[in-house]
Amino acid sequence: MIASAGSILAAVLAAAEEPVAHGPSSVASAGFFLDYAWLIPLLPALSFAGILLFGKRLPRKGSELGIAAVGGSFVLAVGAVITWIGHRDDSHEGVQAVHRTVGWLRSGGVEYDAGILLDGLSVMMLFVVTAVSLLVHIYSTDYVAGDARYTHFFAFLSLFTAAMLFFVLSDNLLQMIVGWELVGVCSFVLIGHWWEHKENSDAALKAFFTNRVGDIGLLVGVSILFFAAGGTFDTLRISERINAGDVSHTALVVASLCLLAAVMSKSGQFILHTWLPDAMAGPTPVSALIHAATMVVAGIYMVARLYPVFWEGMSIGGSSINVLALVGAVTLLFGGMLAFTQNDIKKVLAYSTVSQLGYMVMALGVGAWTAAMFHLFTHAFFKACLFLGSGSVSHAVHSFDMKNDMGGLRKVMPHTYRTFMVATVALMGLPPLAGFWSKDEILAGTGGWGLFGGTHGNGNYILMLVMGMVGAAVTAAYMTRVVYLTFFGTYRGHGHPHESGPRILGPLYVLAFFAVVAGLFNMPKGFQLWPEAWQERFGHYVEPVAAYFPAIGHAKPSWSLAIVSVLVALIGAGLAWRYYFKGVQSRSQAAGASLTEIDDGPVSRGGLPKAVHTALVNKYYFDHLYTGVIVKAVKGPLAKAVYWSNQRIIDGAVNQAGRQSVAAGRAVYDHVDQGLIDNVIVDGSGRASDGAGEGLRTMQTGKVQQYAAILFAAATVLAGVFILVLSI
């Protein structure tokens, strides 16, 4: 494998020696790895084509090609990291991004460039994506071995990686859209990898369509930015103009809200997060890739890349609340609470991802840019480790159900157990593991901490600080539950679980290693126990110091905050530990029954706990809201109106359009207003509206020509209105 990667590299190097048409000629060279960074997405893209064409004929069915290509990309990415560090050290007064473009298209007097943009942010992402992807590739050779579409799987894994790398490297908004959509398509294909089961293909469709909702926001937002910034898609130029104050604030408000919709769908933020847990239908390595390094962090990356837009649009500096921070804070808290009631180990982790992405969005919302990126960095490793660990467990017990098929696995799967525990502690945010440092930096970045010296953030986001703290306790608690249900207690499954093979355990250990050490890259400034030259390296190299980046303030972490946040996490973990390791354990032993048969403690006794539990089990009724109420309420009255119009025509009363529209309005009132607000939000129950939906369903004729008639009639009416408006 290494040999083949080496040979590819040699070929690439040879090719690079030739005078390439689109190579940088007039710009000063920034070193091979940065100038030729476009090779990094190109390699997996080529491997995608190669695997599709010859994969089946290769001895290892194409997986070796994917691993070689991603390995090559990884080597190049590491080279880019090292070159960038040198580049950064050479420039003391701010550092310019390495920006290489080639003319792509000229249309309507506007020139569109294609190019690559390398700064600390994209270089860091290149490293994370290639590293996680490489490990996932290796892991997959064992995990999906014997699958009917093994070759196909690896082809799309390569394309997925290529798409994400392309997205990360893009220097303009158009390229970003292309990468963004490519990532979406690949996730659709991979989530639906086992499409023979309807729920899998449904999950893939759900992911795809939910993302389309946000994509509309992306398209609108990008269009607004294009015109607001004076007709350019170039992210650097847009950012510079915004920082110089050349762009209207109103346009930025609207653009940032539109882009936020895209982020909410892509990064699973609250109210558009529902696709993410369903996306667990895909094979586990894909889940790890989607949740750690690609798909979901695309939204975070976009905010980070276009940070001036959000900084200005959301007025982040000097405020105490804004939409971005609020969305993140709500997501981190409510997403984390949802993780409690799931019995599927992957779904717990999925909600955990939702929650952690909430941390990142919140951090961006409060101006803690570096903290958000650092959390993205550390989270990629420990979450990938958790996902791959859960895959290893499910590989052994052939199930994802923690309650019925797991328990007591720490003895049979010691390696998986160890790595999983490391990643769990990292996720809980306990020192000295990775999650602690990044989470603490986010909490400090809220600027809401005033005790013992206090911190200097970009505002006074006390609400975010509180929600982040509670979120930390919730995270620690649900991870304790997962660990208990999976690895402790008695084994409740059938069959004989066994430890997984080296190709699964290897990546786990590598990721666990990173989960331990990743936090050390960004030790807080002024931290007494760490040499000063090594403090805040991550922030130093990743955070741009240039005209295209807003002047954000930096929070000062304090011992008091760190101690309190650790205590809070410990309290969360401790309560859960007491409940599961002591309470449940002893009760199940006393009853002589397995865990599945004993009652659920306080939640089965009724009252508020039970109500909360029911709401959580039903995921706050969001799925009911989307399919049961909104979809049915929108298409129901429409069909009803058609039905009525037919009735009226038969009766010969064609001229009562006014009455019909009143009736349609009433139907909307009855079913949207009354159904949605009274029954769902107030009563908290989707049942009544579900019934209403059932009733409306019969009106839905399915007759194509009727739909076509409505289409034509509506278009005609619109055209008529248009003409009237024009002629006035």
Partner 1 sequence: MILNQFLLLAAVLFCIGVYGVLARRNGIMVLMSVEIILNSVNINLVAFGAFRDNVAGEVFALFVIAVAAAEVGIGLAIVLLIYRNRRSIDLTEADLLKG
Partner 2 sequence: MTSPVVLAAAASGGDLFVAQNVFFGVIALVMVVSALRCVTTSNVVHAALWLVLVLAGAAAQFILLGSEFVAVTQVLVYIGAIIVLFLFGIMLTKASMGDDDSVATEKRLMASLVAVLLAVVMGVALLDSYSDTRLVIDEPQRFGAVSDAIFSQYIVAFEAVSVLLLAALIGAIVVARKE
Residues at the site binding partner 1, with contacts judged by CB under 8 A: 635, 639, 697, 700-705, 707-709, 712
Please state, in angstroms and rounded to a whole number, the distance separating the CA atoms of residues 503 and 138.
6
Helix (H, G, I), strand (E, B) or coil at 606: coil
- From the list 291, 478, 284, 295, the residue with the least C-alpha distance to 380 is 291
Tell me which of partner 2, partner 1, none is bound by residue 635, counting a contact when its beta carbon lies within the kind-specific cut-off of 5 to 8 angstroms: partner 1
Please state, in angstroms and rounded to a whole number, the distance separating the CA atoms of residues 289 and 451.
39
x/- map, 81-100, partner 2, by CB under 8 A = --------------------
Binding window for partner 2 (CB under 8 A); candidates: 328-336, 338-346, 589-597, 701-709: 701-709
Tokens matching residue 224: 């607004």
**Shortest distance, position 723 Cβ to partner 2, whole Å:** 5
Q: Which is nearer to partner 1, 194 or 707 (CB)?
A: 707
**Shortest distance, position 651 Cβ to partner 2, whole Å:** 10
- From the list 121, 8, 14, 152, the residue with the least C-alpha distance to 71 is 8
Tell me which of partner 1, partner 2, none is bound by residue 110, counting a contact when its beta carbon lies within the kind-specific cut-off of 5 to 8 angstroms: none
Q: Which residues pair with 105 in a beta bridge?
A: 112
Please report which residue ranges of 100-192 form alpha helices under DSSP H.
120-143, 150-169, 173-191
Q: Which is nearer to partner 1, 575 or 664 (CB)?
A: 664
706 contacts partner 2 (rule: CB under 8 A): yes
**Shortest distance, position 653 Cβ to partner 1, whole Å:** 20
- Inter-residue contact 616 to 341 (CB < 8 Å): yes
- Inter-residue contact 439 to 359 (CB < 8 Å): yes
Q: At what angle do helices 39-54 and 63-90 cross, to 10 degrees?
A: 180
Q: Which is nearer to partner 1, 498 or 697 (CB)?
A: 697
Helix (H, G, I), strand (E, B) or coil at 112: strand
User: Applying CB under 8 A, what is the total number of residues that bind partner 2?
Assistant: 16
Tell me which of partner 2, partner 1, none is bound by residue 702, counting a contact when its beta carbon lies within the kind-specific cut-off of 5 to 8 angstroms: partner 1
Q: Which residue has the tokens 């309507």?
A: 108
Q: Which is nearer to partner 1, 567 or 709 (CB)?
A: 709
**Shortest distance, position 705 Cβ to partner 2, whole Å:** 7
Q: Which is nearer to partner 2, 29 or 701 (CB)?
A: 701
Binding window for partner 2 (CB under 8 A); candidates: 150-158, 325-333, 369-377, 714-722: 714-722
Q: Which is nearer to partner 1, 319 or 700 (CB)?
A: 700
Q: Which is nearer to partner 1, 494 or 697 (CB)?
A: 697
Tell me which of partner 2, partner 1, none is bound by residue 700, counting a contact when its beta carbon lies within the kind-specific cut-off of 5 to 8 angstroms: partner 1
Helix (H, G, I), strand (E, B) or coil at 115: strand
**Shortest distance, position 182 Cβ to partner 1, whole Å:** 28
- Inter-residue contact 128 to 434 (CB < 8 Å): no
**Shortest distance, position 709 Cβ to partner 2, whole Å:** 5
Tell me which of partner 2, partner 1, none is bound by residue 704, counting a contact when its beta carbon lies within the kind-specific cut-off of 5 to 8 angstroms: partner 1
Q: Which is nearer to partner 2, 604 or 646 (CB)?
A: 646
98-107 vs 110-118, strand pairing mode: antiparallel
- From the list 209, 357, 370, the residue with the least C-alpha distance to 297 is 357
Helices and strands per DSSP (H, E), number in the chain: 31, 2
- From the list 341, 402, 349, 276, the residue with the least C-alpha distance to 611 is 341
Helix (H, G, I), strand (E, B) or coil at 113: strand
**Shortest distance, position 716 Cβ to partner 2, whole Å:** 5
x/- map, 654-673, partner 2, by CB under 8 A = x-------------------
Tell me which of partner 2, partner 1, none is bound by residue 398, counting a contact when its beta carbon lies within the kind-specific cut-off of 5 to 8 angstroms: none
681 contacts partner 2 (rule: CB under 8 A): no
2 contacts partner 2 (rule: CB under 8 A): no
The b-or-e profile of 371-388 (16+ CB within 10 A means b, else e) is bbbbbbbbbbbbbbbbbb
From residue 224, alpha-carbon distances to 117, 175, 221, 459, 612 in Å are 22, 16, 5, 28, 42
**Shortest distance, position 291 Cβ to partner 2, whole Å:** 37
699 contacts partner 2 (rule: CB under 8 A): no
Q: Which is nearer to partner 1, 22 or 703 (CB)?
A: 703
Helix (H, G, I), strand (E, B) or coil at 267: coil
Please state, in angstroms and rounded to a whole number, the distance separating the CA atoms of residues 609 and 602.
7
- Inter-residue contact 35 to 98 (CB < 8 Å): yes
Q: Which amino acid is at 722?
A: F
Tokens matching residue 680: 């769902």
The DSSP secondary structure of 43-105, one letter per residue, reads: HHHHHHHHHHHHGGGSTTTTHHHHHHHHHHHHHHHHHHHHHHHHHHHH--S--PPEEEEEEEE
The separation between CA 471 and the C-alpha centre of its own chain, rounded to angstroms, equals 18
Q: Which is nearer to partner 2, 14 or 650 (CB)?
A: 650
Q: Which is nearer to partner 2, 531 or 652 (CB)?
A: 652
x/- map, 619-658, partner 2, by CB under 8 A = --------------------------xx--xx---x----
Phi/psi at 94 (5° precision): 65, 160
Q: Which residues pair with 113 in a beta bridge?
A: 103
Count of all residues that appear for the chain in the document = 728
Tell me which of partner 2, partner 1, none is bound by residue 105, counting a contact when its beta carbon lies within the kind-specific cut-off of 5 to 8 angstroms: none
Tell me which of partner 1, partner 2, none is bound by residue 701, counting a contact when its beta carbon lies within the kind-specific cut-off of 5 to 8 angstroms: partner 1
Tell me which of partner 1, partner 2, none is bound by residue 148, counting a contact when its beta carbon lies within the kind-specific cut-off of 5 to 8 angstroms: none
Q: Which is nearer to partner 2, 7 or 647 (CB)?
A: 647
**Shortest distance, position 704 Cβ to partner 2, whole Å:** 12
Q: Which is nearer to partner 1, 666 or 697 (CB)?
A: 697
Tokens matching residue 119: 């700064």
Tell me which of partner 2, partner 1, none is bound by residue 645, counting a contact when its beta carbon lies within the kind-specific cut-off of 5 to 8 angstroms: partner 2
Binding window for partner 2 (CB under 8 A); candidates: 42-50, 288-296, 664-672, 715-723: 715-723
The separation between CA 562 and the C-alpha centre of its own chain, rounded to angstroms, equals 27
**Shortest distance, position 705 Cβ to partner 1, whole Å:** 6
- From the list 414, 407, 411, the residue with the least C-alpha distance to 389 is 414
Q: Which is nearer to partner 1, 582 or 697 (CB)?
A: 697
Tell me which of partner 1, partner 2, none is bound by residue 571, counting a contact when its beta carbon lies within the kind-specific cut-off of 5 to 8 angstroms: none
- The torsion region of residue 453 among left (phi > 0), alpha (psi -120 to 50) and beta comes to left
Q: Which is nearer to partner 1, 585 or 706 (CB)?
A: 706
Radius of gyration of the chain (CA): 27
**Shortest distance, position 630 Cβ to partner 1, whole Å:** 14
Q: For the beta carbon of residue 612, count every other beta carbon within 10 angstroms.
A: 15
Q: Which residues bind partner 2 (CB under 8 A)?
A: 645-646, 649-650, 654, 705-706, 709, 712-713, 716-717, 719-720, 723, 727
